[in-house]
Amino acid sequence: MNPAANLGLQDQPLVLNQGCAVDEPVDSGEGEVIDEPKPPSALPRVWINLGIGTGFGVASGTAENTYRQFFPRGEQAYGPAESGCAIARWVAGTRDVTEVPGAELVQAFDTFGAPGTTGDMMMAYNAAQCAERHPVSTGMAIAPFHVEPEISVRIGKRVSLGLYSRLQVVTAASVYRDDPSKDLTTSFNDDVRNPTPVGVKQSTTFSWTIGAKFKYFLGKEEWKLRPFVGAFGGYGNSRLRVNMGFANDRNGNSVPDDLEIGTDTDINGAGCFPVWPYNASCDGDMNATNDQNLAANVAASADSSDRVDVVRIGPAFIGALVGFNYQIVKHFAVFGELGLGGWFPDQSSFLIDITVGPAITF
Residue 145 lies in a domain: yes
Predicted confidence (pLDDT) at residue 267 exceeds the cutoff of 80: no
Residue 243 lies in a domain: yes
How far apart (Å, rounded) are the C-alpha atoms in residues 281 and 262? 6
Predicted confidence (pLDDT) at residue 334 exceeds the cutoff of 80: yes
Q: What CATH code is carried by the domain that includes residue 242? A: 2.40.160.20
Residue 289 lies in a domain: no
205-251 residue pLDDT tens: 789 999 999 999 999 999 999 999 999 999 999 999 999 999 999 99
CB atoms near residue 42 (< 10 Å): 15
User: What pLDDT score does 13 carry?
Assistant: 61
Residue 80 lies in a domain: no
Q: pLDDT band at residue 30, thresholds of 50, 70 and 90?
A: low
The tally of domains found in the chain comes to 2
Q: pLDDT band at residue 307, thresholds of 50, 70 and 90?
A: very high
Task: Tell me the average pLDDT of the chain.
Answer: 90
How far apart (Å, rounded) are the C-alpha atoms in residues 91 and 74? 25
User: What pLDDT score does 215 carry?
Assistant: 98
Residue 301 lies in a domain: no
Shared domain for 55 and 29, answered yes or no, is no
Residue 11 lies in a domain: yes
134-186 residue pLDDT tens: 999 878 999 989 999 999 999 999 999 999 999 998 777 789 999 999 999 99
Shared domain for 169 and 209, answered yes or no, is yes
Residue 112 lies in a domain: no
Beta-carbon contacts of residue 70 (< 8 Å; ≥ 6 apart) = 76, 78, 82, 85, 86, 254, 255
| Residue ranges making up the domain that contains 161 | 45-67+136-247+308-362
